[in-house]
Chain A
Amino acid sequence: MLASVAKVEAVEGKVARAVPPVIRLVLLALAAIGLITVFMTIEAHGNWDFILPFRGRKILAMVLVGYAIAASTVMFQTITNNRILTPSIMGFDALYMLIQTVVVFFLGAARLSQMNPRFQFGLEVLAMVGFSGTLYWWLFIRVERSVHLLVLVGIIFGVLFGSFTNLLQRMIDPTEFAVLQDAGFASFNSVNRTLLGISGLIIIAVSIVIWRMIHVLDALALGRELSITVGVEYRRTIMIVLALVTILVSVSTALVGPITFFGLLVAHLAYQTVGSHSHRYTIPAAGLFSVIFLVGGQMVLERVFSFNSSLSIMIDFLGGLLFIILVLRGGKK
């Protein structure tokens, strides 16, 4: 019996994908590290005392946020059993914008920029987590409805928040509006150090939980019925994953602003290139792709285009476009 098992595995090894997933991950990691190094050292003109911490902070923000977006998107797609969706559409981005708009409307743009960053961060994260927690409880814990319904309801709330935001924005003076409009786009340029630290700790803690659940995520990918059949505690597990996704999205949005479609791009790239369906490989791959695109993109924007602040708009826009192309090409099965 053991001999036949060994024989099968040898065949498997030959037949399987030419390059094993681990090697692919290593290659991606090397690319990411390479880009980071270039970013940190290019055109430094010897001002290491300033350059390293300044750029280092940007890099750290990009790595943390990139990983958070990648991991949350992959996990979200697994639990919704659908690869077209992204967690931020569930009203997080809209709620974030509403909070910014409310502050500017009632307190003025000046107040927004003067607000204690820790307070603002805490407020935003709490609001987003509180909102989604209520939603999940209402629609999933009390009575088990489908995850798709939950997502659609989240979106509708997003529209609701958007309506209020729009209303308030019309009444805001155009000079104040300029401040708001920047809030609608993520920026890695001026990330507060303390917040970076706090976010880093939160994201690392969440990652540890994800790592311990990595096999359950694989089982969840089979869909509700098969995963229950193989013994997954479906409702509880989905809740946990949703909570993790929520924390990741809220923290990254509060840290740098909304990035909606970027996660889709890196998730799909990961699925199509890493050569395995297992989350053990897809989450790190998506994370590495994020870092590559964010760091690379920021570098290109700074050196080639020299307009600094709109990395996220470009990334979102490109991410959205590329994602549509990927879906159209990869579909029709």
Chain B
Amino acid sequence: MIEITNVTKQYGGEAVVNDVSLTIEKGGITSLIGPNGAGKSTLLSMMSRLLRMDAGTIRVDGLDVTKTPSDVLARRLSILRQQNHFEARLTVRDLITFGRYPYSKGRPTIEDREHVERSLEYLDLVPLQHRFLDELSGGQRQRAFVAMVLCQDTDYVLLDEPLNNLDMRHSIGMMQQLRRIVEDFGKTVVIVLHDINFASWYSDRIIAMRDGRVVYHAGPDVVMTPQALFELYDVNVQVETICGKSVGVYYGDVNEMEVQQARSDRRRFATQVHGA
């Protein structure tokens, strides 16, 4: 499990993550949601030792992330953030092979190659494997990076808004893939998501943050309620149950939607009465 104790991060006097303590149990998908500036990405970065915390500790399976050697952690935990640019021209396959670096240190074995094959297949990248990354579309590149992280084969997989550049089909594919690795391999996935409905549909638990603090850490049924979502986002969300999952409709203010609905009902009634 990931134990976060009294973690704070400040930028210029302002606490972006404010004294956060929580425990993420092993297994399942945990989503991190919240409005812009809530501190989700910052917290994820600190969990993965990419960013130093100003106060507090984080332990992954008992290992302190700031004190444990990086390559030991790299075999337990992997992270993918949003901006990944570098000068070297790599092919998709090259990049994914780097996912095996913590194990092979640059000299891939047969077992490493098998992991690479599997990752290529999982993310539908086999036809693209020899293309250079800069020749791919944003979405394809995104999938290549996720494949690399999966190839790293760690117990904990942290992802920061991985659905950003993906179309519907690939977004669903990605989330289903994550569910599969959680169920088949017992991995723990922590994922920052913008879309509350993807969070609700696929997560076992949701951590909701606002202004640097954790407001909710519970299942989708608790978080996906109009009151909770208003508390988080200052927006009226109507929550429906579809296929047993909570889905939020927030595209227009709910009151406004009712008004629109009433207006179109009246018009229909009017035409019925007066005879089209």
Contact = CB atoms under 8 A, between A and B. Distances in A.
A2 B52 CA distance: 43
A277 B106 contact: no
Interface stretch (A45-53, A114-122, A228-236): A228-236
B49 interface: yes
A115 B101 CA distance: 51
B73 interface: yes
A233 B98 contact: no
B66 to A, nearest CB: 12
A222 B98 contact: yes
Given A12-B130, A218-B106, A277 B70 contact: no
B274 interface: no
Interface in B74-94: 74-75, 78-81, 84-90, 93-94
Contacts of B113: 5, 8
A233 to B, nearest CB: 5
A328 interface: no
A37 interface: no
B17 to A, nearest CB: 18
B35 to A, nearest CB: 24
Interface in A14-71: 15-16
Contacts of A225: 50, 79, 81, 84
Interface string A223-253: 1011011111110000000000000000000
| Chain A interface extent, by class | 20 to 34
A231 B88 contact: no
Contacts of B149: 229
Contacts of B195: none
A81 B86 CA distance: 6
Nearest to B89: A277
B119 interface: no
A199 B72 CA distance: 38
Contacts of B75: 231
Nearest to A280: B106
A83 B87 CA distance: 7
B89 A219 contact: no
A215 interface: yes
A1 B114 contact: yes
B69 A233 contact: yes
B117 A4 contact: yes
A310 interface: no
A333 interface: yes
B117 A8 contact: yes
Contacts of B134: 333
A77 B90 CA distance: 16
A219 B70 contact: no
Contacts of A222: 84, 86, 88, 98
Interface in B144-168: 149, 152
A226 B110 CA distance: 23
Nearest to B107: A215
Contact of B74 (A4, A8, A229): A229
B152 A230 contact: yes
A25 B105 CA distance: 24
A5 B115 CA distance: 10
Given A231-B71, A232-B71, A234-B70, A15 B130 contact: yes
Contacts of A229: 48, 50, 74, 78-80, 149, 152
Contacts of A1: 114, 117
B34 interface: no
Given A218-B106, A226-B98, A231 B73 contact: yes
Nearest to A84: B87
A233 B117 contact: no
Contact of B110 (A2, A214, A215, A232): A2
Contact of B88 (A16, A144, A221): A221
Contact of B70 (A8, A81, A228): A228
B154 to A, nearest CB: 10
B87 A77 contact: yes
B138 interface: no
Contacts of B130: 12, 15-16
13 contacts: A2-B110, A4-B117, A5-B113, A8-B113, A215-B106, A219-B98, A228-B70, A229-B74, A230-B102, A230-B152, A231-B70, A277-B89, A333-B134
- Which 5 residue pairs across A and B have the least CB separation, nearest first? A215-B106, A231-B74, A231-B71, A231-B102, A230-B101
Given A1-B114, A219-B106, 5 more contacts: A81-B87, A219-B101, A221-B87, A228-B49, A230-B98
